[in-house]
Amino acid sequence: MMVRVAKTAGFCFGVRRAVNMAEELAKQHDVLYCYGEIIHNTHEIDRLAAQGVRTALTIDEIPDGAHVLIRAHGVPQSVYQAFAAKGCQVSDATCPFVAKIHRIVAEEYSAGRKIIILGSAGHPEIVGIAGWCQEAMVFETPEELTAAFSEGKLASDDPLSVVGQTTLNRALWDISVKILKKRCTNCKIFDTICNATDERQAEARLLAGESGCMIVIGDKKSSNTKRLYEISKTLCPHVFYIEDAAELKADEITRFGHHAVGITAGASTPAWIIKEVSNMMSEEMKIETGEDFAAMLEESLKSIKNGEKVTGTVIAVSPTEVQVDLGAKQTAYIPIDELSDDPSYKVEENIHPGDEIEAVVVRVNDGEGLISLSKKRVDQLKGWETIEAAKEEHTIVEGVIVEENRGGVVATAFGVRVFIPASQTGVPKDESMAKLVKTKQSFYITEINRQRKRVVGSIRAVQQEARKAAAEKIWETIEVGNEYEGTVKSLTSYGAFVDIGGVDGMIHISELSWGRIKHPSEVVSIGDTVKVYVIGLDKENKKISLGYKREEDNPWNIFTSQYAVGDTAKVKILKFMPFGAFAEIVPGVDGLIHISQIADHRIAKADETLSVGEEVDAKIIDINDEKKKVSLSIRALLTGEGDEE
């Protein structure tokens, strides 16, 4: 089965611009209100809602003074006036092509002409267009237009100015225009159908005609998606209209065998939904995201072409875009996300009005006079040479990790995206790679496929090389007694393994504590930074024995530095034996109170006068340094034995 995705599928220019504005503004405001649905796609609205973009269906739902985003479909002029009265700060995400229609309608109506709008009555775009004049007539079909003349609602000599919904079916527009030219003697026609719509519909026709099955992706409320579905139905026997991959029944598709399957999507369908659907259709097919799913408008300017590298002057910087003067009539701009791949890049620190800037032309449209540019693509072009040289010369590259995905992480270096597989991140399997995001990392370039724009890197290779060099240095200088700061890498029942900077050494359980422990975890944990010293070496077999407990921490040394024979100490009864009781003098050092030294009278058992956990005063009557033993007496304190006269 061959799966083909329309090049024009997904976000058009106006929708992408609106979504980008919403995302940027949401970062700057705790709450951002969008008046009406920003675009016709429930999934995208939900995604933006999670970022703090609230959809308000009425003006009253929006508090006074709030920050408001105008939807891509545009709104009536009265809405702007209402928000001004409420003291709201307004950001306008109206599609530039729709905004142009607003200007046409306002100017034509002011000139005393009747406004005719061809499109879907009640659609948000139509409601917005009609709101820029006092009265407009909307016709959905050529039949309705013909009936208006027959019923006297329109006269042949009426001064008519005609605009169309940007997503109107080109065939319906052409038929309606013929009727108007035939019936009306004073008619001005403004072809306001978006070029992207024409391209999208033309490609849908071509794809549907060559496919045994078509999948049309988009919200059920989307007019342009419905038209793609209608076009596909006329040319393809099997057409599925779905909103997301969850609605796709793969078994229904696979029954068409090896027939070609075409996929197209409405202008409000995000690329991630298209990718989900396409991935379900063909696991082996790799479909690029981003511009491959965007509407590519028809190249029509002779002086400036798509893909051309240009130099211009920055004339304005806003939260969403940078305006650039290219010395042409058209307005050029760079969306904020086309400035740099570096997440730490600060626009206000790097871009200022008057700066000269290099960029690549992404899209040119003379219908609205807009040129979309990308600075980061220039950086990428230069960066490719640097990246290729780094691989050839096996030099280390530094980049910032910008995202994590299921297979690894993505870094940017010199404007080029570098994929680092999970196995090459240097992060253990049981740990999250998310900690790498937004950090600067060093890596080697291991694979380059410029045609597929694929670059693969390895952080692990740099770490291994550094570790090897460090290990060689350590083996050259290591001696018994050397001290190191290391990291606990693993624990076993018999000890702990510690990385001392390139090589591993082991601390035996007996060297972890002066007291008795059952497991190394009682003293250290994996990941702990510890200070160790070398107590044994086997350079031939590359084995190192490490010590952790310090002489200054030796409980016996602590005891002898504080007490001597004849001193009195407060001790804690630990356990009883037939011949007496053991008591703790300091942590790690116990003393024996013989049964004859417990009381000033004869007793048969130690527990007749003492209890476990009880603290009592006892006199130190003997210290055996060689055997590390201490003898104690309570009786001596009771009878005064050994006291000086």
CATH classification of the domain holding 139: 3.40.1010.20
Residue type, 385: E
* Element (DSSP H or E) covering residue 621: strand 615-624
Residue type, 16: R
Residues 134 and 158 in one domain: yes
Phi, psi of 389 (to 5 degrees): -65, -40
pLDDT number for residue 290:
35
Residue type, 611: S
Residue type, 272: W
Whole-number Å distance between alpha carbons of 174 and 522: 83
**Within a domain: residue 248?**
no
**Within a domain: residue 593?**
yes
Phi, psi of 256 (to 5 degrees): -85, 5
Phi, psi of 182 (to 5 degrees): -80, -40
pLDDT number for residue 274:
79
Residues 155 and 175 in one domain: yes
Q: To which residue do tokens 């790097």 refer? A: 350
Alpha helices in 495-595 (DSSP H): 555-562
Residues 537 and 567 in one domain: no
Residues 368 and 453 in one domain: no
Whole-number Å distance between alpha carbons of 365 and 586: 85
How far is CA 520 from each of CA 365, 389, 498, 554, rounded to the nearest angstrom?
70, 48, 12, 18
Residues 494 and 572 in one domain: no
**Within a domain: residue 417?**
yes
Q: To which residue do tokens 């600067």 refer? A: 440
Residues 407 and 435 in one domain: yes
**Within a domain: residue 186?**
yes
Residue pair 91/359 in contact by the 8 Å Cβ criterion: no
Whole-number Å distance between alpha carbons of 58 and 36: 7
pLDDT digits (tens, 9 = 90+) for 347-397: 888 888 778 888 888 887 644 557 889 888 887 777 888 898 888 888 999
Q: Of 438, 463, 488, which closes a domain?
A: 463
**Within a domain: residue 397?**
yes
CATH code for the domain in which residue 528 is found: 2.40.50.140
- The three-state secondary structure class of 237 is coil
Angle, CA of 467, 470 and 476, to the nearest 5°: 140
pLDDT number for residue 642:
58
Q: What is the largest CA-CA distance in the chain?
A: 139
Give yes or no: 125 in active site.
yes
Distance, first Cα to last Cα, the chain: 110
| C-beta atoms surrounding 465 within 10 Å | 13
- Tell me which residue of 207, 263, 270 sits closest to 44, measured CA to CA: 270
Whole-number Å distance between alpha carbons of 489 and 469: 19
Residue pair 91/66 in contact by the 8 Å Cβ criterion: no
**Within a domain: residue 568?**
yes
Whole-number Å distance between alpha carbons of 67 and 130: 25
Residue pair 52/279 in contact by the 8 Å Cβ criterion: no
**Within a domain: residue 325?**
yes
Residues 101 and 182 in one domain: yes
Q: Which residues pair with 160 in a beta bridge?
A: 114, 187
Whole-number Å distance between alpha carbons of 311 and 618: 91
Residues 399 and 447 in one domain: yes
Residues 187 and 106 in one domain: yes
Residue pair 263/285 in contact by the 8 Å Cβ criterion: no
Residues 514 and 589 in one domain: no
Question: CA-based Rg of the chain, rounded to a whole angstrom?
Answer: 40
- The three-state secondary structure class of 485 is strand
**Within a domain: residue 515?**
yes
Residues 510 and 438 in one domain: no
User: Per the structure block, which two tokens stand in for 268?
Assistant: 């409000």
Which regions of 177-306 does DSSP assign to beta strands (E)? Answer: 187-189, 213-217, 239-242, 261-265
Q: Which of 23, 24, 37, 125 is catalytic?
A: 125
Residue pair 611/605 in contact by the 8 Å Cβ criterion: no
Q: Of 352, 374, 396, which closes a domain?
A: 374
Domain count, the chain: 5
Segments forming the whole domain that contains residue 629: 559-639
Q: Of 553, 581, 614, which closes a domain?
A: 553
Residues 579 and 619 in one domain: yes
- Which residues of the chain fall short of a pLDDT of 50? 258, 283-302, 366-367, 644-645
How far is CA 28 from each of CA 51, 315, 561, rounded to the nearest angstrom?
11, 23, 64
pLDDT number for residue 2:
66
Q: Are strands 408-413 and 629-633 parallel, antiparallel or unpaired?
A: unpaired
pLDDT number for residue 494:
92
